[in-house]
Amino acid sequence: MNTKKIYSCVAFLMILLLLAGCSIGNNDKNSGEKDMSEAEDNHNQEDIQPPVEKIDPIKEQIKEMSIEEKIGQMVVVGLEGYTLDDNSRKMIEEYKVGGIIIFGKNVESSSQLLSLVNSLKETNSKNRIPLFISVDEEGGRVSRMPKEIKKLPTNKKIGQINNKELSYEIGTVLAEELKLFGFNMDFAPVLDINSNPKNPVIGDRSFGTNAAIVSDLGIQTMKGIQSEEVVSVIKHFPGHGDTSVDSHVGLPAVDHDLERLMSFELIPFKEAIDNGADTVMVAHILLKKIDPDYPSSLSKTIITDILREDLGFNGVVISDDMTMGAIAENYEIGDASVNAINAGSDIVLIAHGFDNGVSAINSIKEAVTNGTISEDRLNDSVYRILSLKEKYNMTDETKDTIDTEDINNKFKEILE
Protein backbone atom coordinates (compact mmCIF):
# COMPACT_ATOMS: atom_id res chain seq x y z
CA MET A 1 0.00 0.00 0.00
CA ASN A 2 1.44 3.31 -0.97
CA THR A 3 1.82 6.21 1.32
CA LYS A 4 -1.01 8.19 -0.24
CA LYS A 5 -3.54 5.41 0.41
CA ILE A 6 -2.32 5.07 3.99
CA TYR A 7 -2.88 8.81 4.60
CA SER A 8 -6.31 8.55 3.05
CA CYS A 9 -7.30 5.65 5.37
CA VAL A 10 -5.96 7.43 8.46
CA ALA A 11 -7.85 10.59 7.53
CA PHE A 12 -11.03 8.62 6.98
CA LEU A 13 -10.72 6.90 10.39
CA MET A 14 -10.10 10.24 12.09
CA ILE A 15 -13.24 11.69 10.51
CA LEU A 16 -15.25 8.68 11.73
CA LEU A 17 -13.91 9.15 15.26
CA LEU A 18 -14.74 12.86 15.22
CA LEU A 19 -18.29 12.16 14.02
CA ALA A 20 -18.79 9.53 16.71
CA GLY A 21 -17.55 11.94 19.39
CA CYS A 22 -19.92 14.67 18.25
CA SER A 23 -22.80 12.23 18.30
CA ILE A 24 -21.97 11.09 21.83
CA GLY A 25 -21.64 14.72 22.99
CA ASN A 26 -24.97 15.64 21.47
CA ASN A 27 -26.60 12.63 23.12
CA ASP A 28 -25.10 13.63 26.45
CA LYS A 29 -26.30 17.19 25.95
CA ASN A 30 -29.80 16.03 24.98
CA SER A 31 -29.84 13.72 27.97
CA GLY A 32 -28.86 16.59 30.26
CA GLU A 33 -31.50 18.84 28.82
CA LYS A 34 -34.08 16.07 29.27
CA ASP A 35 -33.02 15.53 32.87
CA MET A 36 -33.27 19.27 33.55
CA SER A 37 -36.68 19.47 31.86
CA GLU A 38 -37.98 16.56 33.95
CA ALA A 39 -36.64 18.20 37.09
CA GLU A 40 -38.36 21.47 36.19
CA ASP A 41 -41.64 19.61 35.50
CA ASN A 42 -41.41 17.88 38.85
CA HIS A 43 -40.63 21.20 40.54
CA ASN A 44 -43.60 22.87 38.83
CA GLN A 45 -45.88 20.01 39.88
CA GLU A 46 -44.72 20.47 43.45
CA ASP A 47 -45.55 24.19 43.22
CA ILE A 48 -49.11 23.52 41.97
CA GLN A 49 -50.95 22.58 45.15
CA PRO A 50 -54.72 22.21 45.53
CA PRO A 51 -56.27 25.41 46.97
CA VAL A 52 -56.44 25.40 50.75
CA GLU A 53 -60.01 25.87 51.97
CA LYS A 54 -60.32 29.01 54.08
CA ILE A 55 -61.38 28.20 57.62
CA ASP A 56 -64.61 29.92 58.68
CA PRO A 57 -64.33 30.55 62.44
CA ILE A 58 -68.11 30.75 62.86
CA LYS A 59 -68.61 27.35 61.20
CA GLU A 60 -65.88 25.95 63.43
CA GLN A 61 -67.64 27.42 66.46
CA ILE A 62 -70.95 25.85 65.42
CA LYS A 63 -69.28 22.43 65.14
CA GLU A 64 -68.35 22.69 68.81
CA MET A 65 -71.86 23.64 69.95
CA SER A 66 -74.36 21.18 71.39
CA ILE A 67 -77.91 20.89 70.05
CA GLU A 68 -79.11 22.60 73.23
CA GLU A 69 -76.78 25.56 72.67
CA LYS A 70 -77.93 25.92 69.07
CA ILE A 71 -81.60 25.86 70.04
CA GLY A 72 -80.96 28.36 72.83
CA GLN A 73 -79.48 30.87 70.37
CA MET A 74 -82.74 30.72 68.42
CA VAL A 75 -84.90 31.87 71.33
CA VAL A 76 -85.31 35.33 72.87
CA VAL A 77 -87.34 35.49 76.09
CA GLY A 78 -88.78 38.08 78.45
CA LEU A 79 -88.58 38.27 82.22
CA GLU A 80 -90.73 39.37 85.15
CA GLY A 81 -90.08 42.25 87.50
CA TYR A 82 -87.23 44.67 88.02
CA THR A 83 -84.51 42.18 88.88
CA LEU A 84 -83.11 38.92 87.56
CA ASP A 85 -85.27 36.18 89.08
CA ASP A 86 -84.59 32.45 89.34
CA ASN A 87 -86.55 31.61 86.18
CA SER A 88 -84.65 34.14 84.10
CA ARG A 89 -81.37 32.90 85.52
CA LYS A 90 -82.37 29.37 84.56
CA MET A 91 -83.18 30.50 81.03
CA ILE A 92 -79.66 31.86 80.68
CA GLU A 93 -77.65 29.24 82.58
CA GLU A 94 -79.55 26.05 81.73
CA TYR A 95 -81.32 26.78 78.46
CA LYS A 96 -78.63 29.17 77.17
CA VAL A 97 -81.08 31.46 75.40
CA GLY A 98 -79.67 33.80 72.80
CA GLY A 99 -81.33 36.96 74.04
CA ILE A 100 -83.59 38.82 76.45
CA ILE A 101 -86.30 41.41 75.73
CA ILE A 102 -87.01 44.19 78.21
CA PHE A 103 -90.48 45.77 78.59
CA GLY A 104 -91.80 48.75 80.51
CA LYS A 105 -92.82 46.43 83.35
CA ASN A 106 -89.10 45.71 83.85
CA VAL A 107 -88.11 49.38 84.13
CA GLU A 108 -88.37 51.44 87.31
CA SER A 109 -85.46 53.88 87.07
CA SER A 110 -82.19 54.46 85.24
CA SER A 111 -80.05 52.92 87.96
CA GLN A 112 -82.37 49.93 88.29
CA LEU A 113 -82.40 49.31 84.52
CA LEU A 114 -78.62 49.49 84.33
CA SER A 115 -78.34 47.05 87.24
CA LEU A 116 -80.80 44.65 85.56
CA VAL A 117 -78.95 44.66 82.23
CA ASN A 118 -75.60 44.21 84.02
CA SER A 119 -76.95 41.22 85.94
CA LEU A 120 -78.15 39.61 82.71
CA LYS A 121 -74.72 40.00 81.15
CA GLU A 122 -72.85 38.84 84.27
CA THR A 123 -75.00 35.71 84.41
CA ASN A 124 -74.44 34.99 80.73
CA SER A 125 -70.67 35.59 80.91
CA LYS A 126 -70.24 31.91 81.81
CA ASN A 127 -71.62 31.03 78.38
CA ARG A 128 -69.59 31.26 75.21
CA ILE A 129 -71.90 33.56 73.23
CA PRO A 130 -73.04 37.07 74.29
CA LEU A 131 -76.73 37.91 74.70
CA PHE A 132 -78.97 40.02 72.56
CA ILE A 133 -80.27 42.62 75.02
CA SER A 134 -83.30 43.89 73.13
CA VAL A 135 -86.14 46.36 73.52
CA ASP A 136 -88.98 48.04 71.62
CA GLU A 137 -87.79 51.64 71.55
CA GLU A 138 -89.54 53.34 68.65
CA GLY A 139 -90.06 56.80 70.08
CA GLY A 140 -93.51 58.25 70.64
CA ARG A 141 -95.88 56.07 72.64
CA VAL A 142 -93.77 52.92 72.29
CA SER A 143 -90.90 53.60 74.67
CA ARG A 144 -89.49 51.46 77.48
CA MET A 145 -86.98 53.95 78.82
CA PRO A 146 -87.01 55.30 82.41
CA LYS A 147 -89.01 58.45 83.15
CA GLU A 148 -85.76 60.40 83.55
CA ILE A 149 -85.18 60.14 79.81
CA LYS A 150 -86.89 62.66 77.53
CA LYS A 151 -89.28 61.23 74.96
CA LEU A 152 -89.02 61.58 71.20
CA PRO A 153 -91.99 62.58 69.04
CA THR A 154 -94.08 59.95 67.26
CA ASN A 155 -93.09 58.64 63.86
CA LYS A 156 -96.26 60.27 62.51
CA LYS A 157 -94.95 63.65 63.65
CA ILE A 158 -91.53 62.91 62.14
CA GLY A 159 -93.25 61.92 58.91
CA GLN A 160 -95.06 65.25 58.79
CA ILE A 161 -91.69 67.02 59.07
CA ASN A 162 -90.36 64.63 56.38
CA ASN A 163 -86.65 65.34 56.81
CA LYS A 164 -84.21 62.52 56.10
CA GLU A 165 -81.35 64.08 58.04
CA LEU A 166 -83.60 64.46 61.07
CA SER A 167 -84.63 60.81 60.84
CA TYR A 168 -81.01 59.70 60.70
CA GLU A 169 -80.20 61.87 63.72
CA ILE A 170 -83.13 60.39 65.63
CA GLY A 171 -81.86 56.91 64.85
CA THR A 172 -78.39 57.71 66.18
CA VAL A 173 -79.77 59.26 69.38
CA LEU A 174 -82.11 56.30 69.92
CA ALA A 175 -79.13 53.97 69.69
CA GLU A 176 -76.96 56.14 71.95
CA GLU A 177 -79.76 56.11 74.51
CA LEU A 178 -79.95 52.31 74.41
CA LYS A 179 -76.18 51.88 74.61
CA LEU A 180 -76.15 53.87 77.86
CA PHE A 181 -77.91 50.92 79.49
CA GLY A 182 -76.12 48.15 77.59
CA PHE A 183 -78.79 47.32 74.99
CA ASN A 184 -77.55 46.06 71.61
CA MET A 185 -80.81 45.43 69.70
CA ASP A 186 -83.76 47.73 68.99
CA PHE A 187 -87.04 46.50 67.50
CA ALA A 188 -87.36 49.61 65.34
CA PRO A 189 -88.12 51.29 63.03
CA VAL A 190 -91.72 50.53 62.09
CA LEU A 191 -91.98 50.22 58.30
CA ASP A 192 -95.73 49.65 58.20
CA ILE A 193 -97.67 52.04 55.97
CA ASN A 194 -100.64 53.43 57.90
CA SER A 195 -103.09 52.94 55.05
CA ASN A 196 -106.10 52.02 57.21
CA PRO A 197 -107.18 54.87 59.54
CA LYS A 198 -109.13 52.33 61.64
CA ASN A 199 -106.01 50.25 62.26
CA PRO A 200 -105.96 49.66 66.02
CA VAL A 201 -102.27 48.86 66.44
CA ILE A 202 -100.11 50.98 64.09
CA GLY A 203 -101.52 54.49 63.79
CA ASP A 204 -98.97 57.13 64.82
CA ARG A 205 -96.23 54.49 65.05
CA SER A 206 -96.02 54.75 61.24
CA PHE A 207 -94.18 57.50 59.38
CA GLY A 208 -97.14 58.01 57.07
CA THR A 209 -99.74 56.79 54.63
CA ASN A 210 -97.56 56.36 51.53
CA ALA A 211 -94.68 54.09 50.70
CA ALA A 212 -92.19 56.82 49.77
CA ILE A 213 -92.22 58.63 53.12
CA VAL A 214 -92.16 55.40 55.12
CA SER A 215 -89.25 54.09 53.04
CA ASP A 216 -87.18 57.27 53.10
CA LEU A 217 -87.55 58.07 56.80
CA GLY A 218 -87.56 54.46 57.99
CA ILE A 219 -84.33 53.64 56.18
CA GLN A 220 -82.59 56.72 57.60
CA THR A 221 -83.72 55.84 61.12
CA MET A 222 -82.46 52.29 60.58
CA LYS A 223 -79.09 53.55 59.37
CA GLY A 224 -78.81 55.92 62.32
CA ILE A 225 -79.40 53.07 64.76
CA GLN A 226 -76.88 50.87 62.96
CA SER A 227 -74.27 53.64 62.97
CA GLU A 228 -74.00 53.33 66.76
CA GLU A 229 -73.50 49.54 66.62
CA VAL A 230 -77.02 48.69 67.73
CA VAL A 231 -78.98 46.14 65.67
CA SER A 232 -82.02 47.67 64.00
CA VAL A 233 -84.94 45.27 63.54
CA ILE A 234 -87.33 46.48 60.85
CA LYS A 235 -90.97 45.54 61.41
CA HIS A 236 -93.74 44.32 60.96
CA PHE A 237 -93.19 42.29 57.77
CA PRO A 238 -95.09 41.95 55.44
CA GLY A 239 -97.02 45.04 56.64
CA HIS A 240 -99.46 45.58 59.51
CA GLY A 241 -100.85 48.91 58.31
CA ASP A 242 -104.06 47.73 56.67
CA THR A 243 -105.34 45.41 59.38
CA SER A 244 -108.51 45.92 61.43
CA VAL A 245 -107.54 43.56 64.29
CA ASP A 246 -104.74 44.04 66.82
CA SER A 247 -102.54 40.94 66.65
CA HIS A 248 -101.90 41.29 70.39
CA VAL A 249 -105.53 40.21 70.80
CA GLY A 250 -106.48 38.12 67.77
CA LEU A 251 -105.35 37.07 64.30
CA PRO A 252 -105.75 39.81 61.66
CA ALA A 253 -106.74 38.66 58.18
CA VAL A 254 -106.02 40.61 54.98
CA ASP A 255 -107.29 39.93 51.45
CA HIS A 256 -104.34 41.41 49.54
CA ASP A 257 -102.61 39.28 46.92
CA LEU A 258 -98.88 39.27 46.13
CA GLU A 259 -99.22 41.87 43.37
CA ARG A 260 -100.78 44.32 45.84
CA LEU A 261 -98.08 43.62 48.47
CA MET A 262 -95.27 44.12 45.98
CA SER A 263 -96.69 47.40 44.77
CA PHE A 264 -97.40 48.84 48.22
CA GLU A 265 -96.80 47.17 51.63
CA LEU A 266 -93.49 45.52 50.71
CA ILE A 267 -91.88 48.61 49.16
CA PRO A 268 -90.35 49.94 52.42
CA PHE A 269 -89.10 46.48 53.37
CA LYS A 270 -87.56 45.85 49.97
CA GLU A 271 -85.79 49.22 49.99
CA ALA A 272 -84.56 48.69 53.56
CA ILE A 273 -83.19 45.28 52.60
CA ASP A 274 -81.42 46.83 49.62
CA ASN A 275 -79.95 49.40 52.03
CA GLY A 276 -78.44 46.91 54.44
CA ALA A 277 -81.18 45.77 56.82
CA ASP A 278 -79.76 43.14 59.20
CA THR A 279 -82.90 41.82 60.87
CA VAL A 280 -86.59 41.57 60.00
CA MET A 281 -89.47 40.92 62.41
CA VAL A 282 -92.37 38.98 60.91
CA ALA A 283 -95.90 39.80 62.05
CA HIS A 284 -98.83 37.50 62.84
CA ILE A 285 -101.11 38.29 59.88
CA LEU A 286 -103.16 35.86 57.79
CA LEU A 287 -102.83 36.73 54.10
CA LYS A 288 -105.65 34.58 52.79
CA LYS A 289 -104.80 34.90 49.08
CA ILE A 290 -101.12 34.05 49.61
CA ASP A 291 -101.20 31.42 52.38
CA PRO A 292 -104.72 30.60 53.60
CA ASP A 293 -103.46 28.08 56.15
CA TYR A 294 -100.81 29.89 58.19
CA PRO A 295 -100.22 33.42 59.47
CA SER A 296 -97.13 35.10 58.03
CA SER A 297 -94.99 34.28 61.08
CA LEU A 298 -95.57 30.56 60.47
CA SER A 299 -95.71 30.65 56.68
CA LYS A 300 -92.93 29.26 54.51
CA THR A 301 -94.51 31.02 51.55
CA ILE A 302 -94.21 34.40 53.27
CA ILE A 303 -90.80 33.98 54.93
CA THR A 304 -88.81 31.72 52.62
CA ASP A 305 -90.42 32.31 49.23
CA ILE A 306 -91.23 36.03 49.47
CA LEU A 307 -88.89 37.52 52.09
CA ARG A 308 -85.79 35.47 51.37
CA GLU A 309 -86.10 34.57 47.70
CA ASP A 310 -88.20 37.33 46.12
CA LEU A 311 -86.81 40.20 48.23
CA GLY A 312 -83.32 38.70 48.59
CA PHE A 313 -83.05 38.95 52.38
CA ASN A 314 -80.16 36.92 53.83
CA GLY A 315 -80.13 38.29 57.37
CA VAL A 316 -81.77 37.24 60.62
CA VAL A 317 -85.54 36.69 60.71
CA ILE A 318 -87.28 36.95 64.08
CA SER A 319 -90.94 36.29 64.82
CA ASP A 320 -93.13 38.76 66.61
CA ASP A 321 -93.99 37.69 70.16
CA MET A 322 -95.39 34.17 70.05
CA THR A 323 -97.42 34.77 73.21
CA MET A 324 -99.61 37.36 71.47
CA GLY A 325 -103.27 36.50 71.01
CA ALA A 326 -102.89 35.94 67.26
CA ILE A 327 -100.81 32.83 68.04
CA ALA A 328 -101.73 31.92 71.62
CA GLU A 329 -105.47 31.83 70.85
CA ASN A 330 -105.00 29.57 67.83
CA TYR A 331 -101.90 27.42 68.36
CA GLU A 332 -99.97 25.58 71.04
CA ILE A 333 -96.84 27.68 71.52
CA GLY A 334 -94.40 24.79 71.10
CA ASP A 335 -95.96 23.69 67.82
CA ALA A 336 -96.06 27.29 66.62
CA SER A 337 -92.36 27.73 67.41
CA VAL A 338 -91.46 24.62 65.39
CA ASN A 339 -93.60 25.83 62.49
CA ALA A 340 -91.96 29.26 62.59
CA ILE A 341 -88.48 27.73 62.30
CA ASN A 342 -89.47 25.40 59.49
CA ALA A 343 -91.06 28.37 57.74
CA GLY A 344 -87.70 30.18 57.79
CA SER A 345 -87.47 32.12 61.07
CA ASP A 346 -84.11 32.15 62.80
CA ILE A 347 -85.37 33.35 66.19
CA VAL A 348 -88.69 32.88 67.98
CA LEU A 349 -89.60 35.62 70.44
CA ILE A 350 -91.28 34.35 73.62
CA ALA A 351 -91.82 37.59 75.47
CA HIS A 352 -93.98 36.43 78.37
CA GLY A 353 -94.11 33.40 80.65
CA PHE A 354 -91.28 31.14 81.76
CA ASP A 355 -93.36 28.04 80.98
CA ASN A 356 -93.97 29.31 77.46
CA GLY A 357 -90.22 29.63 76.89
CA VAL A 358 -89.57 26.13 78.23
CA SER A 359 -92.37 24.71 76.05
CA ALA A 360 -90.93 26.33 72.92
CA ILE A 361 -87.39 25.14 73.62
CA ASN A 362 -88.47 21.58 74.45
CA SER A 363 -90.69 21.38 71.36
CA ILE A 364 -87.87 22.54 69.10
CA LYS A 365 -85.53 19.98 70.65
CA GLU A 366 -88.08 17.20 70.17
CA ALA A 367 -88.56 18.27 66.55
CA VAL A 368 -84.79 18.00 65.97
CA THR A 369 -84.74 14.58 67.63
CA ASN A 370 -87.55 13.19 65.46
CA GLY A 371 -86.28 14.85 62.28
CA THR A 372 -89.05 17.43 61.87
CA ILE A 373 -86.29 20.06 62.03
CA SER A 374 -82.89 19.04 60.65
CA GLU A 375 -79.65 19.97 62.36
CA ASP A 376 -78.57 21.63 59.11
CA ARG A 377 -81.62 23.86 59.47
CA LEU A 378 -80.46 24.81 62.97
CA ASN A 379 -76.93 25.45 61.72
CA ASP A 380 -78.17 27.84 59.02
CA SER A 381 -79.99 29.97 61.59
CA VAL A 382 -77.22 29.83 64.18
CA TYR A 383 -74.71 30.91 61.53
CA ARG A 384 -76.78 34.00 60.75
CA ILE A 385 -77.24 34.77 64.45
CA LEU A 386 -73.56 34.41 65.34
CA SER A 387 -72.55 36.45 62.28
CA LEU A 388 -74.84 39.26 63.42
CA LYS A 389 -73.44 39.22 66.95
CA GLU A 390 -69.91 39.30 65.56
CA LYS A 391 -70.72 42.12 63.12
CA TYR A 392 -71.92 44.30 65.99
CA ASN A 393 -69.00 43.37 68.26
CA MET A 394 -71.32 42.11 70.98
CA THR A 395 -69.91 41.25 74.38
CA ASP A 396 -71.23 40.70 77.90
CA GLU A 397 -69.20 43.63 79.17
CA THR A 398 -71.06 45.57 81.87
CA LYS A 399 -71.29 49.32 82.49
CA ASP A 400 -70.35 50.98 85.77
CA THR A 401 -72.40 54.15 85.77
CA ILE A 402 -74.93 56.04 83.71
CA ASP A 403 -75.37 59.75 83.00
CA THR A 404 -78.65 60.70 81.34
CA GLU A 405 -77.90 64.43 81.04
CA ASP A 406 -76.00 64.17 77.77
CA ILE A 407 -78.66 62.13 76.01
CA ASN A 408 -81.40 64.45 77.27
CA ASN A 409 -79.52 67.41 75.87
CA LYS A 410 -79.31 65.68 72.48
CA PHE A 411 -83.04 64.96 72.57
CA LYS A 412 -83.68 68.61 73.42
CA GLU A 413 -81.58 69.76 70.45
CA ILE A 414 -83.55 67.48 68.13
CA LEU A 415 -86.90 68.63 69.48
CA GLU A 416 -85.93 72.26 69.03
Q: What is the pLDDT of residue 410?
A: 87
In the set 246, 248, 335, 380, the catalytic residue is: 248
Q: Please give the radius of gyration of the chain, using alpha carbons only, rounded to the nearest integer.
A: 33
* Residue 91 neighbours by CB under 8 Å, 6+ apart: 77, 79, 97, 354, 357
Could you give the dihedral angle defined by the CA atoms of residues 302, 306, 311 and 313, in that order, rounded to the nearest 10 degrees? 50
Chain center to CA of 239: 20
Task: Compute the distance between CA of residue 102 and CA of residue 124 in angstroms, rounded to an integer.
Answer: 16
Task: Compute the distance between CA of residue 155 and CA of residue 231 in angstroms, rounded to an integer.
Answer: 19
Whole-Å CA distances, 211 to 229, 270, 371 = 27, 11, 42
Q: Beta 231-237 vs 279-282: how paired, if at all? A: parallel
Strand partners, 314: none
| Helix (H) or strand (E) run with residue 319 in it | strand 316-319
248 catalytically annotated = yes
* CA-angle at 105, arms to 401 and 68, nearest 5°: 85
| pLDDT tens-place string over residues 206-228 | 999 999 999 999 999 999 999 99
Task: Compute the distance between CA of residue 337 and CA of residue 360 in angstroms, rounded to an integer.
Answer: 6
In the set 136, 291, 320, 396, the catalytic residue is: 320
Closest residue by Cα to residue 266 from 282, 252, 250: 282
* Fold for the domain defined by 62-411: TIM Barrel (3.20.20)
Task: Compute the distance between CA of residue 307 and CA of residue 237 in angstroms, rounded to an integer.
Answer: 9
DSSP 400-413: S----HHHHHHHHH
Q: What DSSP character marks residue 133?
A: E
pTM as predicted: 0.86
* Backbone phi, psi, residue 55, to 5°: -80, 130
CB 142 within 8 A of CB 192: no
pLDDT tens for each residue of the chain, 416 residues long = 444 444 444 445 454 444 444 444 444 444 444 455 555 555 555 556 667 778 999 999 999 999 999 999 999 999 999 999 999 999 999 999 999 999 999 999 999 999 999 999 999 999 999 999 999 999 999 999 999 999 899 999 999 999 999 999 999 999 999 999 999 999 999 999 999 888 878 999 999 999 999 999 999 999 999 999 999 999 999 998 877 667 787 788 889 999 999 999 999 999 999 999 999 999 999 999 999 999 999 999 999 999 999 999 999 999 999 999 999 999 999 999 999 999 999 999 999 999 999 999 999 999 999 999 999 999 999 999 999 999 999 999 999 988 889 889 988 888 77
Q: What is the pLDDT of residue 240?
A: 86
pLDDT above 70 coverage of the chain, percent? 87
Could you give the dihedral angle defined by the CA atoms of residues 279, 282, 288 and 291, in that order, rounded to the nearest 10 degrees? 60
